[in-house]
Amino acid sequence: MTAPTTAPAKIGAAAALAQLSGWTAADGKDAIEKTFRFADFNAAFGFMTRVAIEADKRDHHPEWFNVYNRVEVTLTTHDCDGVSERDVQLAKFMDGIAGG
């Protein structure tokens, strides 16, 4: 794990969504959300495992909820109490490995 040394700048959900596809703004807090669907639990959990390893390397972790083949993800940055570029980068990583 590599801890970031400076707090990230808050860019807000709208600025993040302008750089992403399939993500939406969360209700009630500055965060972005996406629901990923996979062929089965094995594929969903494989995705979560790959994301978990990368997220820990980045010291930037998702909120998520999994049932069978569905993974609901919420990204926000606690360190700036809103969406930062770190969320955009993690969202792009997830999109890149999710396929489809």
Ligand X SMILES: C[C@H](O)[C@H](O)[C@H]1CNC2=NC(N)=NC(=O)C2=N1
- The residue range among 13-21, 25-33, 39-47, 55-63 that interacts with ligand X, by the rule CB under 6 A, is 55-63
The only residue of 37, 57, 70, 78 in contact with ligand X, by rule CB under 6 A:
78
Name the residue nearer to ligand X (CB basis): 1 or 18. Answer: 1
**58-77 mask for ligand X (x: CB under 6 A)?**
-xxx---------------x
Name the residue nearer to ligand X (CB basis): 44 or 91. Answer: 91
CB of 74 closer than 8 Å to CB of 26: yes
Signed CA dihedral, 88, 89, 92, 98: sign only: negative
CB of 57 closer than 8 Å to CB of 2: yes
* Residues contacting residue 30 through CB under 8 Å, at least 6 positions apart: 10, 12, 13, 76, 81, 82, 83
Report in angstroms how near the CB of residue 40 gets to ligand X at its nearest.
27
Enumerate binding residues for ligand X (CB under 6 A): 3, 59-61, 77-79
